[in-house]
Structures are given as structure tokens and as C-alpha cells.
Amino acid sequence: MKVDFLLFEDFETLDAFGPAEIFGHQKDMELHYCSLSGGPVRSGQGLIVSSEPADLIAAGDVLLVPGGMGTRKLVHDAAFVQRLKALAEACSWVLTVCTGSALLAQTGLLDGRRATTNKYAFDWVVSCRPQVFWQKKARWCMEDKYYTSSGVSAGMDMAFGFLADRFGRPTAEQGARAIEYLWHSDPQQDPFARP
């Protein structure tokens, strides 16, 4: 299973590398870090990542879209949104972390579907695409091939949830033990839920 992380300037480091740590422990998962044009990409925390061009993302792959402050500009970037839509339609599974859900929502692919996002940025994300059935209380959501998670560290819980769905709960539990992580395995248990 090939997992492609679609990076952009000012992405949130843990949004991408929390799930990368989890998926990287799976022998059946191959990780790739991509951006639209390839080359170095700087996270919001100053980490520079060498990325491959998004043209290498293939049908059948898993696509993960992180959030971060860079999403504030990209939701208005029609070319980025159009390219993301094409990639998401081609991939077997699409996962978003935090405000990465705002980017996916802008494609229209989440319209009428349940999704969630960072609860501290919830109002902004909802304003970007109110046609989505935004969940105020959810650590993560899964509908059809789309997984969306709440803020930052919630992406790790979602990643384990994805492993449980694809490979069985024992695989997810073993992965959590391997990295000494306390997995919040119930997607409805959201300590940051909106009232």
C-alpha cells in the first residue's frame, strides 16, 4: 500500500509526521512525500522536506492531506483545489488531518458527507464549505473512502483507526504499543468537541 503525503508551504509538521510514524512501522506501507511541483517544502515549524512531484501519485494510492496555516491561502487557490480533486478522485483512500479537511472540502468531494476538523478552527472551516455535514463532536470521521480528523494529534488516532479498518484492530493495537502511544480508539470520544 503506497501512502502519499501531499505537502505544501506551512503545513503542520505533526499532521503529516504523526501518521507517517504510524504507517512507517507497517511492512506493507510505502511512504512518499509529495507536493504539486516537487522540491523542498517548509512546514509551519521550519522543517524542510524534500518532496516528489504530485504527478507520481497514482490511482489506487492512499492520499494524506495535512492541515496547518498554509491551508488559509490554499482554500482560495483554484489550481491547487482542482489538482487535489483529481488526485483524491484517483486514490483509493483519502485522509485529512486538522484543517486539511478544508482543502478537501473545497473540491466538493465532501459535500453531503460527514467530516470533522480542528475544533479551534471549526468555524473557519465550516465557512469554507457549509455543504459538508461537519461534525462538532468527533475525533475522526470515515465516510466512503474519506477519513477526516480533528486537530493535529487526532491525525494519529485516525491513522490507527485506518489501520484497524484495513488490517484489523490487533494490527492497530500492536502498532500503538510499538510506539508507546495511547490510542484513543473511539472516534466519537472527542475531548475538544464543540458545544
Please give the domain boundaries of the chain with CATH numbers for all domains: 2-178 (3.40.50.880)
Phi-psi region of 151 (alpha: psi -120 to 50; beta: other; left: phi over 0): beta
Query: Residue 124: its pLDDT value, please?
Result: 97
Query: Residue 105: its pLDDT value, please?
Result: 98
For the chain (195 residues), the mean pLDDT of every run of 10, in chain order, is 97 98 94 97 97 92 97 97 97 98 98 97 96 97 97 96 97 96 95 87
In three-state secondary structure terms, 133 is strand
Query: Residue 194: its pLDDT value, please?
Result: 81
Compute how many other C-beta atoms are within 10 angstroms of the C-beta atom of residue 27.
5
Predicted TM-score of the model (pTM): 0.96
Interhelix angle 154-167/169-178, rounded to 10 degrees, is: 140
Please give the Cα distance from 86 to 89 (Å, whole number).
Answer: 5
- For residues 107 and 77, the answer to whether their CB atoms sit within 8 Å is no
